[in-house]
Amino acid sequence: MQRLGVLTSGGDAPGMNAAIRAVVRTAVARGLKVTGIAHGFAGLIAGEFQEMDSGSVAGIIHRGGTILRTARSAEFMRPEGQAKAVVRLQEAGIDALIAIGGDGTFRGTASLAAMGIPAAAVPATIDNDIAGTDYSIGFDTAVNTAVEAINKIRDTATSHERVFLIEVMGRESGHIALMAGLAGGAESILVPEIPFDLQVVMERVIKARQANRLHSIIVVAEGAAGAPGLGEEIARLTNMETRVTILGHIQRGGTPTAYDRILASRMGAAAVELLLAGRRGFMAGLVGEGIVARDLDQVVGRRKEISRELYELAAVLA
């Protein structure tokens, strides 16, 4: 193994840059050459290659987004696209590949591994829905962004004695909603994984008012319910002033937390070391205190479940 390729793919996540930096610097320290591939698998098919060295990843550990840019590639989903990608890698003399991203990225990486490319994946998605790793890069930053927003909304919610619905990201997973809701002291947390009863949500709002609480905060994962419609419904049924805030892509940007930078640094470095040690077709995941290799076949298509224990705790503390 002499030349390593690195790319970021799918939705971006704060900390991706720290992961790129760790991959490049670990590879350089181990005597490898590195090719950066722009725009994920789409850029791989198009041959968007750039030489990388220690200096090209200087000054990025604290930056959100990804210096390699990212994309979702429909062409790469098809076998012809994957075959083209393999040819491109061979033409560029890239012996192994590290892909940083979420589940879609992992599928692509697994396909390349099945075609004989020594490939590894690093989990980076604010959704934190990748099975086999305790955390994915970007999740901690996104949760902190959401909690900061909840804190601010709480101030105005109290002043006006309003009900607030705060919609956070998570089309199919409620990890951000659960953690942000728990840390933000939400009265109700609605996640796609657990059906909710509108009656129960309203009863909580009404009870809180009777107990002299001046506001209500309901955190809604985007995949659990459409917050605007739900807000109208709650306003109509409770007769309380209700407002809705959708946090949206603000959760995907910003400077990564120290936790995400350290996680990204560890995972990126481990991915290189594991490839050098002969592992193939794996994800560098966090399990407890350690970074371990997990076979991509065991990870792809499986979703990390939310913690029922924390969900119940949040309900008791609300």
The residues annotated as belonging to the active site are: 127
- Specify whether the CB–CB gap between 30 and 114 falls below 8 A: no
Q: How far is the CB of 22 from ligand F6P (least distance, A)?
A: 21
Nearer to ligand F6P, 48 or 103 (CB): 103
Of 101, 108, 123, 170, the one binding ligand F6P by CB under 6 A: 170
Residue span binding ligand F6P (CB under 6 A) among the ranges 89-97, 167-175, 265-273, 283-291:
167-175
Residue span binding ligand F6P (CB under 6 A) among the ranges 165-173, 198-206, 225-233, 258-266:
165-173
Q: How far is the CB of 54 from ligand F6P (least distance, A)?
A: 29
Which residues lie across from 8 on neighbouring strands? 100
Q: How far is the CB of 93 from ligand F6P (least distance, A)?
A: 32
Write out the binding residues for ligand F6P, residues 118-147 only, by CB under 6 A. 125-127
Q: How far apart are CA 242 and CA 318, in angstroms?
A: 19
Of 4, 6, 8, 11, the one binding ligand F6P by CB under 6 A: 11
- Specify whether the CB–CB gap between 311 and 191 falls below 8 A: yes
Of 62, 171, 303, 308, the one binding ligand F6P by CB under 6 A: 171
**Main-chain phi, psi angles of 191, to 5 degrees:** -125, 155
Q: How far is the CB of 304 from ligand F6P (least distance, A)?
A: 13
- Per CB under 6 A, residues contacting ligand F6P are 11, 125-127, 169-171, 222, 252
